[in-house]
A and B are shown apart, each in its own frame.
Chain A
Amino acid sequence: MFSVELLLNALIAGLLLGGFYAAVSLGISVAFGLLDVVNIAHPAFIILGSYAAYVMNVSYGYDPIVTGLIFTPIFYLLGVIVYWIYYASFEKKGEDPLRGLVFFFGLLFIIEVSLLLKYGVDYRLVEAAYIGQSIRFKGIGIAMRLLVPCVVGVLMTLALSLFLSRSFYGRAIMGVSQDSLAIRLMGANPMRIKTIAFGVGIATASLAGALLIMIGPVEPSIGREYIGRVFAITVLGGMGSVAGTLLGGLVLGVVESLTSTFYGPSWSPAVSFGILLLALAVRPAGLLGR
């Protein structure tokens, strides 16, 4: 069954999937990688983003990407509020991080149940002219439904990377992640910087959700399927490394795609997580971690 054409198609499909994986993992990379906040509710925020895209698409015919951009500031504010509550209830008191985990578990359920009560349990999809279309070139096929999320995912990674390395607040976030005490000694307020960082992390969920509902149908609890995957990508790429998240996503996407094509799709999770274990054995800090 092996052919060069099949191999090239599998590689391209894997890269496209990887770009999307990076988009859904960026928020975790910021919260977990930079702030040490185990935000397992992040996939639920992504689903919230998907529903925002769905509602705007069905009601006003908005393109999901446009909706994702419109809702980004709203998600940022949502992230800020969530972090305030988390900080006041757990971090400030120096509570065990496990209790914070319970907080985010609770948040996950609240978002899921709220969506369930409002929109029911039916699967939701969006419509856009490019969904279902593909570009074909000499036996190579590129599905627009995957190309658009990949491009947007890469652009999101680039934007976040530039923000963290070039802007004042971005550098401050990197500083807090490296040495919170030093930032405090310099007269800055780490809590304020962490709030901005967490808000940025949740803001990425708006676009990530829009990308998710472009790829396939969504229902309120589907976010749970991504919890393991997004944490694995963050760890594989290197904790706190945004470029590493993109690389981790691409590696996982390509491995899944090649396994599905040549060996059988049911093996793809085992091979992907096998690669994760192998990578961590060789580089415990992750691919681009320090």
Chain B
Amino acid sequence: MMRRWTYGIRAWALIAALIGAFVLSGAWAAGAQTAQPIRIGFGMALSGGLAGNGKAALMAMQIWKEDVNKKGGFLGRRVELIYYDDQTKPATVPGIYTKLLDVDRVDFVVSAYGTNLIAPALPIVMERGLVFMGLFGLANNQKTNYPYYFQIMPSGPDPAVDWTRGFFEVGMKQSPKPTTVALVGADAEFAQNALAGARENVKRLGLKVVYDNTYPPTAVDFTPVVRAIKAANPDIVFIASYPPDSAGMVLAAHEVGLQPKLMGGGMVGLQFAALLTKLGPKLNGIVNYDFWVPEPTLRFRGIEEFLKKYQAQAWKEGVDPLGHYLPPFAYAYLEVLGQAIEATKSLDQKKVGEYIRAREFDTIVGKVKFGSNGEWAKSRVLQVQFQNITATDLDQFMKPGKRVVLYPEELKSGNLIYPYSKANP
């Protein structure tokens, strides 16, 4: 009788222990779920002039957050993104970042998209000694040299000059060697910077400038500009333009019959589906800057999975359906921050900042190493040539062979068709 009673006690104790362990393990798991998430705050252009890219960047950042949280987050905590629409207005930026830091009490802040929207946030993060990842800012840290600012666009340590270096170097390797150049661009910040860089490269390479002019951002018709360039008969035509002007220039060049040996360089808009699919074969032969294209030499770890997720959502959201230009970099700048948090096992700004300064990161846009001014230690602005475009469908631009990488040498995926008229008869 006594023995049976003892067995009963033991059996109940065993069951209680099992239930206890189960409950405890459940409580632990629940604890992990309810722990305060790591919060990353930022402003983003969701309306106004840069909203197209801003929305695409936000989508990429949300894909990153989902990917990270699927793997359990960082330091046993989930990741949360806190963001506000900066309306593409620099004046809204200080208020947004002050709120993120003082009211929302985020653990990290990252930048909005674009030079003009990064600049007003920099003094705030500098004052508080915070790590600040930058998204497509051109030379924001040039004067301040803040040690914890890191910019993901691969423009390189000397952005203005490095941006256009490849275009001219590709041209100078050809035979017959070009000797004259026409420089044209919009009267606006990016184009002016690009033109300034181009002038330095032209001087260094000893090219003779036969046309150097800017046009107002409100210009409607580019045929007079293109005719004037044609009359100057340059070997190279360097264009620094914004999307509507890029389309206008390409159309006008066709209509006027402008056929220099090399044309393009700094044409914004020729990276997006909206213009690529409308200009189609007219793009053949143009050599232009880019940051990522679906060429075999740029198949970095995770890029294809990312693009699959992005492209599946892009149509619904009404953003660029290709997503080759900005979205991979919006994903990558959070990847860098995430990898640094994971490696240092810390949210301490100094520790994370020092780690980013010192290390190289493996991201979906390739290996990223930052230099002393927070820009990429080595420029990776690509120069690609539009080749063999026969139609206006979108699918062709998702495959290799249409935007062939000519520069830099280590990422080259094809050869320049030279002169321009050979690629675009």
Contacts and interface: CB of A to CB of B under 8 A. Distances in A.
Query: Do they bind each other?
Result: yes
B248 interface: yes
B255 A143 contact: yes
Main secondary structure of the interface of B (DSSP, over half): helix
B160 to A, nearest CB: 20
Interface string A1-45: 101001001100110110010000000000000000000000000
Contact of A217 (B213, B275, B282): B275
A216 B227 contact: no
Interface stretch (B118-126, B216-224, B303-311, B407-415): B216-224
A124 B320 CA distance: 12
Nearest to A134: B255
Contact of A216 (B187, B244, B255): B244
Interface residues of B, number: 43
A119 B51 CA distance: 12
A225 B255 contact: no
B91 interface: no
A17 B255 contact: no
B272 interface: yes
A228 B369 CA distance: 47
A13 B223 CA distance: 7
A144 B221 CA distance: 13
Contacts of A143: 223, 251-252, 255-256
Contacts of A133: 255
A268 B256 contact: no
Contacts of A260: 215, 219, 224-225, 228
Nearest to A269: B216
Interface residues of A, number: 49
Given A121-B52, A127-B278, A132 B225 contact: no
Interface in A46-71: none
Given A6-B227, A145-B251, A265-B214, A132 B282 contact: yes
Given A141-B255, A145-B255, A13 B221 contact: yes
B239 to A, nearest CB: 13
B254 interface: yes
Given A123-B269, A125-B247, A264 B213 contact: yes
A282 to B, nearest CB: 26
A16 to B, nearest CB: 8
A120 interface: yes
B318 interface: yes
Given A123-B247, A143-B252, A17 B231 contact: no
A177 interface: no
B248 to A, nearest CB: 5
Nearest to A229: B218
Contacts of A13: 221, 223-224, 227
A266 B187 contact: yes
Contact of A122 (B215, B231, B282, B318): B318
Contact of B319 (A1, A120, A145): A120
A263 B52 CA distance: 35
A265 B219 contact: yes
Interface string A200-241: 000000000000000111110110010001000000000000
A161 interface: no
B274 interface: yes
Given A143-B252, A146-B223, A216-B244, A127 B392 contact: yes
Interface string A72-99: 0000000000000000000000000000
Contacts of A218: 244
Interface string A239-271: 000000000000000001110111011101100
Contacts of B179: none
Interface in B208-265: 213-221, 223-225, 227-228, 231-232, 243-244, 247-248, 251-252, 254-257
A147 B251 CA distance: 14
A278 interface: no
A265 B225 contact: yes
Contacts of A256: 221, 224
Interface string B46-70: 0101011001000000000000000
A116 interface: yes
Contacts of B243: 123, 217
Nearest to A24: B220
A122 B187 contact: no
Q: Pick the most buried of A119, A120, A131, A133: most chain B CB atoms within 10 A of its CB.
A: A120
B190 to A, nearest CB: 16
Contacts of A124: 274
Given A215-B220, A266-B187, A261 B51 contact: no
B320 A122 contact: yes
Q: Pick the most buried of B217, B227, B247, B392: most chain A CB atoms within 10 A of its CB.
A: B227
A175 B248 CA distance: 43
A136 B219 CA distance: 24
B52 A122 contact: yes
A125 B217 CA distance: 18
Contacts of A229: 218
Contacts of A146: 221, 223
Given A1-B228, A141-B227, A257-B224, 11 more contacts: A121-B55, A122-B318, A123-B274, A134-B255, A143-B256, A216-B247, A216-B248, A217-B243, A219-B244, A261-B227, A268-B215
Interface of A: 1, 3, 6, 9-10, 13-14, 16-17, 20, 116, 119-125, 127, 131-134, 136, 141, 143-146, 215-219, 221-222, 225, 229, 256-258, 260-262, 264-266, 268-269
The 9 closest A-B pairs by CB, nearest first: A120-B318, A265-B215, A260-B224, A121-B52, A125-B278, A143-B255, A134-B255, A122-B274, A261-B224
20 contacts: A10-B227, A13-B221, A121-B51, A121-B55, A123-B243, A123-B247, A123-B274, A124-B274, A132-B282, A141-B223, A143-B255, A145-B255, A215-B221, A216-B248, A217-B275, A257-B224, A260-B228, A261-B224, A265-B214, A266-B214
